[in-house]
Amino acid sequence: MNTKTTEHVKKIKPLLNFSKIPDPDLLKRLHAIRDGVTGNPAFASPPVDMATFKAGVDAYDTLATNALDGGKKAISAKKKQREIVIKMAMQLGHYVWAASNNDLATFNTSGFEVAQNTKIPPQPLPQASIKYVDRGPISGQVVVKPKTLKGGVSYEVRYAVVPSAGTTVAAPGAGPSIVPGPWTSVMLPGPKTATITNLTPGTTYQFQVRALGKLGYSDWSDPANFICT
C-alpha cells in the first residue's frame, strides 16, 4: 500500500517594491538583476533584451547623478527613465518567478531579492490612555475620549466616585486608604467619545479606559479625576 505525504512548500516570490525605494538603493537592485540574469542559462529567454536593460540602467544611473543639482529638467528626465527601468525590472521579476519553478538556489542566481511573506503574530496591547476628560453638554454629564490604540478592537471606560478626604476604605491586606468605587463600565465600539450621564454635580469622579485586542484586554490607563459640573 502506497502512502502519499503532502508537504507544504513555501512559495518563493521576488521582491518587486521598486517604486518605494530611493534611487541609490534602486540602482543597486537593478545592477544585481542585470548581472544575475545576463547570460544565465536558467533564464535563457528573458522578456526584456538584456542589452537594452543594461543601457536603460546606465542611462538612469547617469540621470540620477545629474538630478542631484536640483534642476527641474534633470529631475524630470530622471523620473521618466526610472519608470522605464522599473517597468523592465517588473517584467523580468515575473519571468524569473516562473522560470525558477520555486527553486531557491536557481532563484538566487537571478539577482532578485526574495519577498518576505512571514506574518507577524498578534502582540499584546500596550497600556491604554485617556486623550481627554471634559464637561458634557449639560449639567451632570462628563465626556471621556480614549486615545486610539493600534490593534484595539473596542474600548471600555469605567468610572467611580472619589470619596472625600475624610472617608477611608480598608483595602484587603492593607491599611485604610481613599479609593474610588464601586466602578461603572461603559463599552465603546471604537475610540469614540463616551458621554457619561446621570452624574452628581460637584462630585469628583475617577475615570480609566482599557482596550480589547486579539489577545485580550490592555492594562487600565492611569486614572484621571474630574469634578462634574
Same-domain pairing of 134 and 223: yes
Cα 88 to Cα 101: distance, rounded to the nearest angstrom: 21
**pLDDT score at 170:** 39
Same-domain pairing of 139 and 98: no
pLDDT along the chain (229 residues), means of 10: 44 91 96 97 96 97 93 94 97 96 94 78 89 95 94 94 61 49 90 93 95 94 95
Q: Is residue 198 part of a domain?
A: yes
Q: Tally the domains of the chain.
A: 2
* Angle, CA of 140, 141 and 147, to the nearest 5°: 155
* Angle, CA of 34, 39 and 45, to the nearest 5°: 90
Cα 69 to Cα 119: distance, rounded to the nearest angstrom: 41
**pLDDT score at 164:** 76
Is residue 145 within 8 Å of residue 204, measured between CB atoms? no
Backbone phi, psi, residue 92, to 5°: -65, -40
Domain interval for residue 77: 18-108
**pLDDT score at 83:** 97
Same-domain pairing of 103 and 134: no
Q: Is residue 2 part of a domain?
A: no
Q: Is residue 11 part of a domain?
A: no
Same-domain pairing of 178 and 223: yes
Same-domain pairing of 94 and 175: no
Same-domain pairing of 169 and 222: yes
**pLDDT score at 10:** 64
Same-domain pairing of 162 and 215: yes
Q: Is residue 125 part of a domain?
A: no
Backbone phi, psi, residue 115, to 5°: -75, 130
- Boundary residue ending a domain (43, 74, 108): 108
**pLDDT score at 121:** 72
**pLDDT score at 86:** 97
Same-domain pairing of 135 and 94: no
Nearest C-alpha neighbor of 112 from the set 131, 87, 95: 95
Q: Considering the entire predicted model, what is its pTM?
A: 0.50
